Amino acid sequence: MEFIFKKISSLSAAFILVLLTAVFIVLFLYAKPAIKKYGLHFIIDPRWDVSVPIKEKTPTKTNNIKSQKNKNNNIEVSDADVLAALGITNTNAKTETIYGGLVPLVGTILSTLIAMLFAVPIAMGIAIFLSEISPPLINKPVGIAIELLAAIPSIIYGMWGLFYFGPFISHIFGGSSVSLLVAGLVLGIMIIPFMASLTRDSMNTTPNILKESAYAMGATKFEVIKDIIFPYARKGIIGSIILALGRALGETMAVAFVIGGVFTFPKKITDPTVSIPVVLANNFAESSGMSLSALFYLALILFILSFIIIFSAKFYFLKNKN
Amino acid sequence: MSEKLEKVMDIKNFSFTYNGANKPSLKNINLPIYFKKVTALIGPSGCGKSTFLRSLNRIHDLYPGNKYEGEILLKDIETGDMENILKYKKENELIKLRQRVGMIFQKPTPFPMSIFDNIAYGLRLMGKKNKKFLEEKVEEALKSSALWKEVKDRLKDDARGLSGGQQQRLCIARAIAVEPEVLLMDEPTSALDPLSTLAIEELVTKLKEKVTIVIVTHNMQQASRVSDWTAFMYLGELIEYGTTEQIFISPHEKRTADYIAGKFG
- CATH number assigned to the domain comprising residue B12: 3.40.50.300
List chain A domain ranges: 29-99, 103-321
CATH code matching the domain that covers A103-321, chosen among 3.30.70.1110, 1.10.1030.10, 3.40.50.720, 1.10.3720.10? 1.10.3720.10
| Mutation for A interface: B95, B96, B186, B190, most A CBs within 10 A | B95
From chain A, the residues in CB contact with B107 under 8 A are: 209
Distance of CA A49 to the CA centre of its chain: 22
Distance CA A278, CA A253 (A): 7
pLDDT of A316? 79
Residue B40, domain member (yes or no): yes
Give the gyration radius of chain B's Cα atoms: 18
Is-contact B228 B243, C-beta < 8 A?
A: yes
Is this complex scored with an ipTM above 0.85?
yes
Instruction: State the distance between the two ends of chain B, measured CA to CA, in whole angstroms.
Output: 30
Is-contact A79 A65, C-beta < 8 A?
A: yes
Distance from CA of A212 to the nearest CA of B (A): 7
From chain B, the residues in CB contact with A212 under 8 A are: 59, 62, 103, 105, 109
Phi, psi of B169 (to 5 degrees): -70, -35
pLDDT of A288? 84
Distance CA B184, CA A187 (A): 51
Phi, psi of A300 (to 5 degrees): -60, -40
pLDDT of A81? 56
Q: Is the pLDDT of residue A69 over 50?
A: no
Is B261's Cβ below 8 Å from some Cβ in A?
no
pLDDT of A21? 94
pLDDT band at A320 (very low <50, low <70, confident <90, very high): low
Q: Is the pLDDT of residue A312 over 80?
A: yes
pLDDT of A144? 92
Q: Is the pLDDT of residue A89 over 70?
A: no
From chain A, the residues in CB contact with B59 under 8 A are: 212, 215-216
Dihedral of alpha carbons B49, B50, B51, B52, sign: positive
Distance from CA of B73 to the nearest CA of A (A): 18
As a residue count, chain A comes to 322
| A218 with B103: Cβ contact below 8 A | no
| Burial letters A55-81, b for 16+ CB under 10 A, else e | eebeeeeeebbeeeeeeeeeeeeebbe
Nearest to B206, CA basis, from B36, B2, B9: B36
Q: pLDDT tens digits for A142-151?
A: 999 999 999 9
Strands B26-34 and A48-53: unpaired
| B59 with A215: Cβ contact below 8 A | yes
Burial (CB < 10 A; 0-12, 13-18, 19+), residue A120, is buried
Query: Looking at the 3D structure of chain B, how many domains does it have?
Result: 1
Instruction: Provide the β-strand partners of residue A102.
Output: none
Distance CA B202, CA B168 (A): 13
Distance from CA of B4 to the nearest CA of A (A): 31
| A217 with B178: Cβ contact below 8 A | yes
| B105 with A214: Cβ contact below 8 A | no
Q: What is the largest CA-CA distance in chain B?
A: 56
Distance from CA of A193 to the nearest CA of B (A): 27
Nearest to B227, CA basis, from B188, B175, B258, B180: B188
Q: pLDDT tens digits for A231-248?
A: 999 989 998 999 899 999
Chain A residue with minimum CA distance to B124: A219
Phi-psi group of A40: left, alpha or beta (phi > 0 → left; psi -120 to 50 → alpha; rest → beta)? alpha
Is B65's Cβ below 8 Å from some Cβ in A?
no
| Mutation for B interface: A202, A206, A217, most B CBs within 10 A | A217
Distance CA A209, CA B148 (A): 25
Mean pLDDT of chain A: 86
Overall pTM surpassing 0.80 (yes/no): yes
Query: Which residues, including other chains, have CB under 8 Å from residue B124's CB and lie 6 or more apart?
Result: B134
From chain B, the residues in CB contact with A215 under 8 A are: 59, 62, 98
Show the domain range for B82. 7-108+180-260
pLDDT band at A87 (very low <50, low <70, confident <90, very high): low
- How many A/B residue pairs have CB atoms within 8 Å? 67
Is A212's Cβ below 8 Å from some Cβ in B?
yes
Burial (CB < 10 A; 0-12, 13-18, 19+), residue B19, is exposed
Q: In what order do the strands lie in the sheet with B82-84?
A: B26-34, B7-17, B67-75, B82-84
Is-contact A86 A68, C-beta < 8 A?
A: yes
pLDDT band at A79 (very low <50, low <70, confident <90, very high): low
Is B141's Cβ below 8 Å from some Cβ in A?
no
pLDDT of A136? 82
pLDDT band at A1 (very low <50, low <70, confident <90, very high): confident
Q: pLDDT tens digits for A202-224?
A: 999 999 999 999 999 999 999 99
The packing angle between helices A2-38 and A289-318, to 10°, is 120
Nearest to B76, CA basis, from B91, B90, B89, B87: B87
| A214 with B111: Cβ contact below 8 A | yes
Distance CA B29, CA B11 (A): 7
Is B98's Cβ below 8 Å from some Cβ in A?
yes
Per-residue confidence in pLDDT tens, chain B, 265 aa: 456 788 999 999 999 999 989 999 999 999 999 999 999 999 998 899 999 999 999 999 998 889 999 999 999 888 888 989 999 989 899 999 999 999 999 999 999 999 999 999 999 999 999 999 999 999 999 999 989 999 999 999 999 999 999 999 999 999 999 999 999 999 999 989 999 999 999 999 999 998 999 999 988 999 999 999 999 999 999 999 999 999 999 999 999 999 998 887 7
Three state DSSP letters for chain A: CHHHHHHHHHHHHHHHHHHHHHHHHHHHHHHHHHHHHHCCHHHHCCCEEEEEECCCCCHHHHHHHHHHHHHCCCCCCCHHHHHHHCCCCCCCCCEEEEECCHHHHHHHHHHHHHHHHHHHHHHHHHHHHHHHHCCHHHHHHHHHHHHHHHHCCHHHHHHHHHHHHHHHHHHHHCCCCCCHHHHHHHHHHHHHHHHHHHHHHHHCCCCHHHHHHHHHCCCCHHHHHHHHHHHHCHHHHHHHHHHHHHHHHHCCHHHHHHCECCCCCCCCCCCCECCHHHHHHHHCCCCCHHHHHHHHHHHHHHHHHHHHHHHHHHHHHHCCCC
As a residue count, chain B comes to 265
From A207, A212, A217, residue closest to B121, measured CB to CB: A217
pLDDT of B76? 87
| A209 with B106: Cβ contact below 8 A | yes
CA quadruple B167, B172, B173, B175: dihedral, nearest 10: 130
Dihedral of alpha carbons A246, A247, A253, A254, sign: negative
pLDDT of A63? 47
| A218 with B96: Cβ contact below 8 A | yes
